[in-house]
Amino acid sequence: MNPYRSKTVATWLALAFGAIGLHRFYLKGWGDKLGWLHLLPTAAGLVGAERMSTYGQDDRLAWLLIPLLGLMITQGMLCAIAYGLTPDEKWDARHNPGQPAHATAWLPVFGVILALLVGGAVLMGTIAFSAQRYFESQAEGADARAAPSAGADLRA
């Protein structure tokens, strides 16, 4: 018989460690390939954050890597929301077949509320960071293209 998989534990694992896929390992075991795939973009995002801390805001590689971390945190929050809002009967049918049903009370709901707050803030921050960096790079490109022509006008 498979061990009981708690909706509350899965919700809070996704909330706290969703970026590294710990909730997937809890539900599907250590052989879950999708769970292992969480580690690569999360690690790349952390490398990007470290690069920005070390080299400053002008590091273009950090611009590309940091949004990965934001997206991985956001997907963890989305999983927490989905787990917490799954009806108990459907949860038990999917993750605990053949076992007696368990009522979950309010702890998954509190996890969903916190996941909505954190996930919304991280997603908005990721979008704002990415958009700011994109428009800054476009402005730098326009300045670089305009600079040679301005110098040519002065010499003429």
Average pLDDT of span 35-60:
94
More confident residue, 103 or 122: 122
Average pLDDT of span 128-138:
89
Average pLDDT of the residues of the chain = 91
Percent of the chain topping pLDDT 90? 73
Half-sphere exposure of 146 (CA within 13 A, CB side): 6
Half-sphere exposure of 111 (CA within 13 A, CB side): 28
User: Is 29 in contact with 3 (CB distance < 8 Å)?
Assistant: no
Half-sphere exposure of 147 (CA within 13 A, CB side): 6
Going from N- to C-terminal start, the domains of the chain cover 7-155
Given this model, what pLDDT does residue 151 score? 52
Given this model, what pLDDT does residue 94 score? 94
